[in-house]
Amino acid sequence: MASIALHLAIAGHVQGVGYRRWAAREAERRGLGGWVRNRPDGTVEVMVAGERAAVEAFVAACRGGPRGAGVETVAATPGSAPPGPGFSVLPTG
């Protein structure tokens, strides 16, 4: 199976609604690695890696986000595989 890594920039009403915890659960459910963090500019940043179909399904889910989120855009660019296994919630950076 082909693996890919993507860097996501998610904009809209995405902070203060549990988006990071939701993203971590969604990634773990799909067996993906990476991390998620809030950015000072109000966006959420994600680095995600894993099997192509699972990453694509994760990105599609991010377009909706958790209840209470108002996602406006999800910009995806090629990323590098995150170090180590698992998916982490990082502090704002």
More confident residue, 45 or 82: 45
25 occurs within a structural domain: yes
Q: Is residue 59 part of a domain?
A: yes
Q: Tell me, what's the pLDDT at 85?
A: 78
Q: Which two tokens stand for residue 72?
A: 């406006």
Q: Residue 19's beta-bridge partner residues? A: none
Contact 12, 62 (CB under 8 A): no
Is residue 21 situated within a structural domain? Answer: yes
* pLDDT tens digits, one per residue of 46-90: 999 999 999 999 999 999 999 999 999 999 999 987 777 799 999
Per the structure, the complete domain to which residue 28 belongs is given by 16-36+48-66
pLDDT > 90? residue 93: no
Q: Is residue 90 situated within a structural domain?
A: no
Contact in structure between 6 and 56 (CB atoms under 8 Å):
no
Q: What percent of the chain has pLDDT over 90?
A: 89
| Count: domains in the chain | 1
What pLDDT is recorded for position 19?
A: 98
Is the CB of residue 72 less than 8 Å from the CB of residue 42?
no
Would 24 be classed as within a structural domain?
yes
Please identify every residue annotated as catalytic: 20, 38
62 located within any domain: yes
Asked whether residue 72 is domain-assigned, the answer is no
In a domain, 29, yes or no: yes
- Cα 37 to Cα 59: distance, rounded to the nearest angstrom: 15
Cα(8)–Cα(11) distance, integer angstroms: 10
Place of tokens 């904009």: 11
